[in-house]
Each structure stands twice: as C-alpha cells, then as structure tokens.
C-alpha cells in the first residue's frame, strides 16, 4: 500500500527504493534482481509509514480486509451483564426489546416509527446522561421517536440485527430477539449489535454531515485507539490518525480544517462511547467529545491481532 503519489512525474516510492537497492547491490542476473526487489517490498510493507499514522502497509491491509472483524480484530462474545453495565446503547436496546416483548406487539405510526407511547416510556426508562434526563424529561411531554436519544437508531438497528420484526404496521420481538434477552446471552447480544451497527447500517443517515463512508476504516481506528488512547487525549489531536488516508483526501472542506474532528467525533467516537468502549469528556451542552480514552471494556471485548512492524 504505497503512499499517494504527488504527481505523474514522480516514481512510486517503492519503485524508487527497489531501484536504489539494485543500483547499490548490482545484481549479476535477473533472478538476483528479483530477489532484491522482493526483499525491498517485504521490508517496505512491514515498515511504519508516517502517512499511514505510524502503521505499516501490512498492518493497514489486515485491518481493512473484508474479514478484518474476526481475524485482525477478534470480538469477545462471552461478556456478562455486569461487564456491559457501562454500555448505554446495549442497555437501551435490551430495555426496548424487553418492553416490546412484554407488550407482545406495539403499533407503529403511519411512517413506520415507534409511537408516542413507546417513545414516552423509553424516555423515562432509557439510560441517559444526567443533562439529557433533565432537559428531555422536562421539555418533552409527548415525544416522538426522533426526540428520544437512541430510539431512532434502535428503530433500524434492531430489525437489521434480526431482533425486531416490523410487519403490517406493528413491531414484534423475533424468536432470536427473545432468546438473546436472557441474561446469560448478554455477550452474544452485545456482539451482534456491534457487528450489525458497523457492517449493516449506513451512518450517513444518522447525522447532518455530508455523505462519507468511514465505516470501512473501523478496524484501523480501533488499532489506533488501542495504542494512542491509553490516557486522555484531545480529540482534535488524534482525529486525523483515526481515519483512512484516502478518506482524509476526499473529505469535504470545513472551516478551520475541522473535518477530521467532526467526522471522527460523530461517526467513530460517539458510537464507540455508546457501546461503552470509550470514555469521553463531553462538553455538557452539546454532548460533543472533547477528550477521550479507551475504557476497561475496550480491552475485554476487543483483541487486536496485526502483523508486527519492523
């Protein structure tokens, strides 16, 4: 994965390295030249690159491959309810499933959303920050689905995960959903929600940022977090390292070069905080991450296996 070329007149950096080594060693046959080139390529692929956030091309390739989730990043589906007590998205998903399962079914609105009765109940039962609780519960007396934090997301996440069925204007918990409500299945439910969120949902529909697909770079972001976020770090400082280089090149322009921070906050840090994998020092009025670090759950849930760099 050579870095981006600055212009057509410049040789690819790896070609330059091969040519330099061949000129230095002066091979006596084509076979010797091939061996020299192969050695240069292998060393290059294992060498950390500044433009790759200090990672080697080999590491990046492992983290963006089709099967990265399960090979380069292994998920622990054996977590307990106690392990997951700091993951609000999981807790609220479980709470919503339990409420619908208890009722048998709930009527949807004409647009296919959860009705006001469900929204009002979840506003009072969901795990929310103290600020959100005070503001939302005091301001919204008859909330809609969009008014309740997490509820809009769960409307799409739970069906995508096969846990909730929407049919004939009603929502019902599926057999799979009912099974995974058991406390002994907490780890399986959490892992399913995590996989579904990052592989089946389109994040572009849940915020107001211009369309940009950064979900494919989650593996790389998790690796960077595992090395860079062991202590509190300013979001602006770390954000460019959490996004793929090709994403940074096509990112829309924002004032003060704020694009990486805005996308990293909305599409990586906030969702991972909701999964309990990050701790964030939020600005209270807008709930926007200012500093962040990995949580204890991060290491219990994720095992990152990438090739060692030179």
Q: CB atoms < 10 A from the CB of 38, how many?
A: 11
Burial class (CB in 10 A: 0-12, 13-18, 19+), 168: exposed
Instruction: Give the pLDDT of residue 6.
Output: 44
The domains of the chain, with CATH numbers, are: 7-42 (no CATH), 88-191 (1.10.10), 204-304 (1.10.10)
SS3 22: helix
User: If pLDDT is split at 50, 70 and 90, which confidence band does 20 have?
Assistant: confident
Instruction: Give the pLDDT of residue 295.
Output: 97
Q: Six-digit token pair at 178? A: 């009912």
Instruction: Give the pLDDT of residue 60.
Output: 81
SS3 175: helix
Task: Check if the beta carbon of residue 18 is closer than 8 Å to that of residue 35.
Answer: no
Beta strands in the chain (DSSP E): 73-75, 106-107, 164-167, 170-173, 233-234, 278-283, 288-294, 302-304
Question: If you ran DSSP here, which 8-state letter would residue 52 be given?
Answer: G
Q: Tell me the per-residue pLDDT of 105-116, one tens digit each, with 9 for 90 and over.
A: 999 999 999 999
Q: Tell me the per-residue pLDDT of 124-172, one tens digit each, with 9 for 90 and over.
A: 899 988 777 777 766 777 889 999 999 999 999 999 999 999 999 999 9
User: If pLDDT is split at 50, 70 and 90, which confidence band does 83 have?
Assistant: very high
Provide the mean pLDDT of the chain. 87
Q: Six-digit token pair at 112? A: 């296919």
Instruction: Give the pLDDT of residue 131.
Output: 76
Beta strands in 139-194 (DSSP E): 164-167, 170-173
Q: Tell me the per-residue pLDDT of 267-295, one tens digit each, with 9 for 90 and over.
A: 999 999 999 999 988 655 455 668 999 99
Which residue carries 């292994």 as its tokens? 74
| Alpha carbon distance 294, 280 (integer Å) | 9
pLDDT above 50: residue 4: no
pLDDT above 80: residue 308: no
Q: What is the mean pLDDT of residues 20-29?
A: 82
Q: Tell me the per-residue pLDDT of 208-265, one tens digit each, with 9 for 90 and over.
A: 889 998 888 899 999 999 999 999 999 999 999 999 888 888 888 887 678 889 999 9
Q: What is the mean pLDDT of residues 54-62?
A: 81
């Amino acid at each position: 994965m050579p870095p981006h070329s600055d212009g057509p007149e410049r040789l690819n950096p790896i070609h330059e390295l091969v040519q330099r080594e061949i000129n230095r060693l002066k091979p006596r046959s084509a076979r010797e030249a091939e061996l020299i080139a192969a050695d240069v390529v292998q060393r290059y692929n294992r060498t950390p690159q500044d433009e790759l956030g200090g990672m080697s091309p080999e590491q990046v390739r492992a983290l963006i491959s089709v099967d990265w989730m399960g090979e380069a990043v292994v998920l622990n589906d054996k977590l307990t309810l106690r392990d997951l007590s700091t993951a609000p998205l999981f807790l609220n998903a479980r709470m919503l499933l339990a409420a619908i399962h208890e009722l048998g079914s709930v009527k949807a609105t004409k647009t296919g959303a959860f009705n006001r009765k469900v929204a009002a109940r979840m506003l009072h039962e969901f795990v929310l920050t103290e600020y959100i609780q005070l503001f939302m519960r005091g301001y919204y007396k008859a909330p809609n689905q969009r008014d309740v934090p997490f509820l809009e997301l769960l409307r799409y996440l739970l069906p995508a995960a096969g846990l909730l069925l929407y049919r004939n204007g009603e929502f019902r918990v599926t057999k799979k959903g009912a099974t995974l409500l058991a406390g002994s299945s907490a780890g399986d439910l959490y892992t399913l929600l995590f996989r579904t969120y990052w592989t089946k949902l389109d994040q572009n529909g849940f915020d107001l940022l211009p369309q940009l697909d950064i979900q494919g770079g989650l593996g790389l972001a998790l690796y960077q977090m595992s090395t860079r976020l062991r202590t509190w770090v300013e979001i602006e400082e770390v954000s460019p390292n959490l996004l793929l280089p090709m994403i940074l090149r096509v990112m829309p322009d924002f004032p003060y070069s704020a694009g990486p921070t805005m996308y990293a906050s909305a599409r990586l840090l906030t969702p991972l905080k909701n999964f309990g994998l990050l701790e964030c020092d939020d600005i209270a009025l807008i709930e926007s991450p200012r500093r962040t670090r990995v949580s204890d759950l991060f290491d219990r849930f994720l095992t990152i296996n990438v090739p060692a760099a030179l």
